[in-house]
A and B are shown apart, each in its own frame.
Chain A
Amino acid sequence: MVKNKENSEDLDFWATNSEEGGWNISSTDEGSQKMNDEESEQQIKIQTGSDVVDDYFIEEETSEDERMIVNMGPQHPSTHGVLRLQVELEGEAVRRVKPIIGYLHTGMEKTGEELTYLQGPTNTTRMDYLSPFFNELVFSLTTEKLLDIEVPARAETIRILMTELNRVSSHLVALATGGMDIGALSMMIFGFRERELVLNFFEKTTGLRMNHNYIRPGGVAADLPDNWQKDVKEILKIIPEKLKDYDEMLLDNPIWQGRLQNVGIITPEECLAYGITGPSLRASGQGWDLRKMQPYSGIEKFDFDVPVLQESDVFARWRIKVLEILESLKIVEQAMDNMPKGPYKIQDKKVTPPPRKRLDESMEALIHHFKIYTEGFKVPEGDAYVAVESPRGELGCYIVSDGSSKPFRMHVRGPSFCNLQALPIVMADSPIADAVAAIASLDPVIGDVDR
């Protein structure tokens, strides 16, 4: 018996962090089959620092035999990547849920310490892979705050244009995969079809469909292509039409409504206690949007609304994404009409590399070019935190600089990571069939959770 136990611990090393206390190791190779010891309500309150009522604990009268623990993931099509969930079932009802993350841990924050500030966006863009522009933007804004520089007006407006288009493409994927998870397969095809429109514009501008490395400290990497207004006008024309199709197909569909209304409710108090931001918070009646509250990149100059819904269920979280796409398109239209002329990079020789043709004419330019690409530019000592409103919520970047050309420490506050905390309260005491709908509505991107 003792020998058997040792074996199982060896096998379990990969599956779970078995050194953690409170874990009961069973003798299968599927990882731990038991969850943490039940905690008292008081302990939970101490942990979360709140008075949120955690009503998802198992009632005393049910015996151990009636409960079953099911592992969902990490290889599961509905977990939006490689999320693993331990779900404790009592018949058909989900009683407790434990999300297990780390299956996509890439060590990006550590890699960020070995890349210069100019190379940094290459790394950060791969974190939340559905909203790459936001990751680049938040890293660039933080670096610029440390450098104490201001980018030209054209660069700022290009940044707004690209990030808001990125919000559209990201929400389209959220709608598409959300539809697919609940069984509306046509939604998946439609969502990805419209996303291609936006991605074509990204490819034309940045050279890549995803992971662009386009927004960099000091501005953007390249100017917009010729006749870019034509592509943006096409996007502005087609996407609202298609959104009407989605509404006809799903939002007005009684089956869809009956399936999602009053499912997976997060109350506003729970949102605040768990630090949930983004569409999930706004679907719970809290009008918190960093674009209005802490404007960045001159977004305060644009005229747009923040949609807020009161229902707090999966249906509201779905509907708010459609509304946010329309608001983002408003910003895109204004950015297109009022695009300032001028340079798209800061005219600071210490930050911006000289253009290629200057290298043949000027020794000084050649030296600057060489220095910036090999050594990088030095950033003054200090630390800075900047947050932007990514499609999933507050995306923040905290950089500590020791005066060299590489960050001493880079930390990213990922919205998906914080929103994922809500999964146990969203899924608890609901039928197992609603579990997938609840995950899809929170729209976690595992690249952003694990980094």
Chain B
Amino acid sequence: MYSPDNIFTTTIDKAVRWSRTQSMWPVTFGLACCAIEMMAAGSAKYDLARYGMEVFRASPRQADLMIVAGRVSQKMAPVLRQVYDQMAEPKWVIAMGACSSTGGMFNNYALVQGVDHIVPVDIYVPGCPPGPQSLMHGILTLHDKIMAGEINR
């Protein structure tokens, strides 16, 4: 119901940035060990629902954030890029763990040495695997980044 007594003013920039952070739906992109910690972050004890993020979407079209959780092999790389391309703008990427950030301990023929060779990465979360707390810190850092950034990326 419309009530003329309750009014607040803001800028469109702030409103858009705020709304983007408050329900950022990740796409399920579990690859390896980090995916288990990502699932743990979404479960009872750590509970990503507090940030409106518990809805891991199976379809990239409905997601805003891709958490690349695990090692990306050369065979998986085109699949990853395709999923990223299918996501609707605006979209963000978190490289979770050492392997997706830099290749980690596997400097060999099979792995992509850092997922930033394929997609632009916003936040790198260190650890092998990063605990749920680290992942949540990465997500909150991304929120800060969005709140401080431009709405036109």
Q: State the A residues within 8 Å of B (CB).
A: 14-15, 74-77, 81-82, 102-108, 110-111, 122-123, 126, 129-130, 173, 176-177, 188-190, 192-193, 195-196, 199, 209-211, 446-447, 450
Contact = CB atoms under 8 A, between A and B. Distances in A.
Contacts of B131: 209
Nearest to B73: A105
Q: How would you classify the secondary structure of chain B's contact residues: helix, strand, loop or mixed? A: loop
Nearest to B43: A192
Contacts of A122: 105
27 contacts: A14-B75, A14-B78, A75-B29, A75-B79, A75-B83, A77-B56, A81-B35, A82-B31, A82-B79, A103-B79, A104-B70, A104-B76, A107-B111, A110-B109, A111-B108, A123-B105, A126-B32, A129-B33, A188-B39, A189-B43, A192-B45, A193-B43, A193-B44, A193-B45, A199-B40, A211-B33, A211-B129
B39 to A, nearest CB: 7
Nearest to A209: B131
Nearest to B58: A77
B38 to A, nearest CB: 11
Given A77-B58, A102-B73, A195-B40, 20 more contacts: A14-B75, A15-B78, A74-B79, A75-B29, A75-B79, A77-B28, A82-B31, A82-B76, A103-B76, A103-B79, A104-B32, A104-B76, A106-B111, A107-B110, A130-B36, A192-B43, A193-B45, A196-B40, A196-B44, A210-B36
Contact of A192 (B39, B73, B111): B39
A104 B31 contact: yes
B128 interface: yes
Interface of B: 28-33, 35-37, 39-40, 43-45, 56, 58, 70-71, 73, 75-79, 83, 105-106, 108-111, 128-129, 131
A368 B83 CA distance: 51
B16 to A, nearest CB: 29
A272 B128 CA distance: 37
Given A190-B44, A192-B43, A106 B110 contact: yes
Contacts of A123: 105
A104 B31 CA distance: 7
Contacts of A103: 73, 75-76, 79
A81 B32 contact: yes
Nearest to A192: B43
Given A104-B73, A111-B108, A123-B105, A192 B44 contact: yes
A55 to B, nearest CB: 32
Contacts of A211: 33, 128-129
